[in-house]
Amino acid sequence: MTDHALASVDPKIAKQILLEEERQHRTLRLIPSENYAFPAVMEACGSVLNNKYSEGYAGKRYYEGQQHIDVVEKLACQRLKKLFGVDHANVQPYSGSPANLAVYFAFLKPGDTVMGLGLPSGGHLTHGWGVSITGAYFNAVQYGVRESDHRIDFDEVAKLAKEHKPKLIFCGTTAYARTVEFDRFAEIARDVGAILAADIAHISGLVAGGAHPTPVGHADIITSTTHKTFRGPRGGMIMCTKEHKKAIDRAVFPGLQGGPHNGTTAGIAIAARLASKPEFRTYAANVVSNAKHLADELMSQGITLVTGGTDNHLVLCDLRSCNVPGKVAAQALDRAGIVCNYNSVPFDTRKPFDPSGIRIGTPALTTRGMGKSEMVQLARWMNEVIRAPDDVGVTDRIRGEVEALCDSFPVPR
């Protein structure tokens, strides 16, 4: 075998990977959908499994040479079934959006009605938002959050469901700091005969680790990415009850995709194994307690939080009372080594590309082993930067302090 080290084959790309590795080490990663994958997952993703085509499912492939891939895929499915307590798991979706598209393809025809949480209320593009194919090809009805407390308005969900009779209801969020009440969604879906799909992309690690109620027993279909709180590879998965197994499998392949990404499949299997360990339950609980500590300290610094706190891994800051647009704050924080994303807040009057809030979360910092005192310190740094986003002295000083903290909490390798 010839060992062509990346640095000699493509020094430009090698350099950027090295710099990115350094950036990930020297900054505080607060984007709630990001994390550090388990090192064993990274190893599997870069393995020879990349080189194999495997269209079909274990035991029924369109290519020979599946002796090892079949074992890997079966292990991934078995482990997910056990971990989440579901009848069936499909690990082939390339990521969360294709997983959700497969659900549409399994149950809806173009023009059929789907209901989902609107993007400005913390939903996802693929839950029927207008600019997504799901809003363009289906009759999408969007529910929202209450203006008074920014929590999901179940009266509105029930009313819209009765009025529009959707075939499919999506629940699940990308910018919502509160527990998703799957039981209440299930009751509404049952009343109107809709399929309920729970998109747990953000919280699948919390669900697996017992830090968020499970949708199992409430939702017919569960979709997720595998790289967020779950700490697996960039990928997707769909879990479902027995009755929907065939429809889901067909929708993924041959409906939507060709060959699965086998390195990713192995990564999902590894993440599922690691997520079943007691340490992962501790991790999931710590993600939530860290988010609460961060939220509490931000509020005591005078920063307004949407819904006034958090139940999960995520905190949505409304910066209108600080008179700083979300993007200005996010860019200043980035200069200080604190990486988050600007985000709309419910009923935002600013545009999505220049909104009023920032979205932060604790999955990655918790993976690095940070706890309460680091969260308190972080909230204080954030407050200083948000109050003086143009003050280079402040951002430079905090950047140095952030780097010192990062050195004490190395990223998993």
Stretch 9-38: interaction string toward ligand DSN, x if CB under 6 A: ------------------------x-----
* Active site (annotated) includes residue 184: no
Q: Is 259 exposed, middle or buried (0-12, 13-18, 19+ CB in 10 A)?
A: middle
Among 53, 179, 241, 397, the one annotated catalytic = 53
CB of 96 vs ligand DSN, minimal distance in Å: 6
Q: Does 174 bind ligand DSN (CB under 6 A)?
A: yes
Among 134, 173, 225, 226, the one annotated catalytic = 225
* Active site (annotated) includes residue 34: no
Contact 65, 219 (CB under 8 A): no
Scan residues 371-410 and list those touching ligand DSN (CB under 6 A). none
Closest CA to 233 of 36, 19, 37: 37
CB of 174 vs ligand DSN, minimal distance in Å: 4
Our CB check for ligand DSN shows the closer of 72 and 206 to be 206
Q: Which residue is nearest to ligand DSN (CB)?
A: 33
**SS percent in the chain: helix, strand, coil, step 5:** 50, 15, 35
* Active site (annotated) includes residue 228: yes
Q: Can you read off the two tokens belonging to residue 401? A: 């302090």
Scan residues 315-344 and list those touching ligand DSN (CB under 6 A). none
**Angle, to 10 degrees, between the axis of helix 372-387 and the axis of helix 392-408?**
160
H or E segment and range at residue 29: strand 28-29
- Give the residue carrying structure tokens 């569960």: 222
Q: Does 96 bind ligand DSN (CB under 6 A)?
A: yes
The rounded distance, in Å, linking the Cα atoms of 53 and 56 is: 10
Sign of CA dihedral 261, 102, 236, 267: negative
* Active site (annotated) includes residue 318: no
CB of 287 vs ligand DSN, minimal distance in Å: 15
Closest CA to 90 of 195, 222, 275, 220: 222
Q: Is 374 exposed, middle or buried (0-12, 13-18, 19+ CB in 10 A)?
A: buried
Q: Does 312 bind ligand DSN (CB under 6 A)?
A: no
Number of chain residues interacting with ligand DSN (CB under 6 A)? 4
Stretch 70-89: interaction string toward ligand DSN, x if CB under 6 A: --------------------
Helix/strand/coil for 95: coil
Among 79, 167, 178, 228, the one annotated catalytic = 228
CB of 228 vs ligand DSN, minimal distance in Å: 8
Scan residues 288-307 and list those touching ligand DSN (CB under 6 A). none
Stretch 109-148: interaction string toward ligand DSN, x if CB under 6 A: ---------------x------------------------
The rounded distance, in Å, linking the Cα atoms of 377 and 373 is: 6
Our CB check for ligand DSN shows the closer of 132 and 262 to be 132
* Active site (annotated) includes residue 243: no
Burial 48-61 (b: 16+ CB within 10 A, else e): ebeebebebbbeeb
CB of 29 vs ligand DSN, minimal distance in Å: 12
* Active site (annotated) includes residue 199: yes
Our CB check for ligand DSN shows the closer of 33 and 121 to be 33
In the chain, the amino acid numbered 227 is H
Among 34, 43, 55, 187, the one annotated catalytic = 55
Q: Which residues are catalytically annotated?
A: 53, 55, 199, 225, 228, 234
Q: Under the rule (CB under 6 A), what is the footprint of ligand DSN?
A: 33, 96, 124, 174
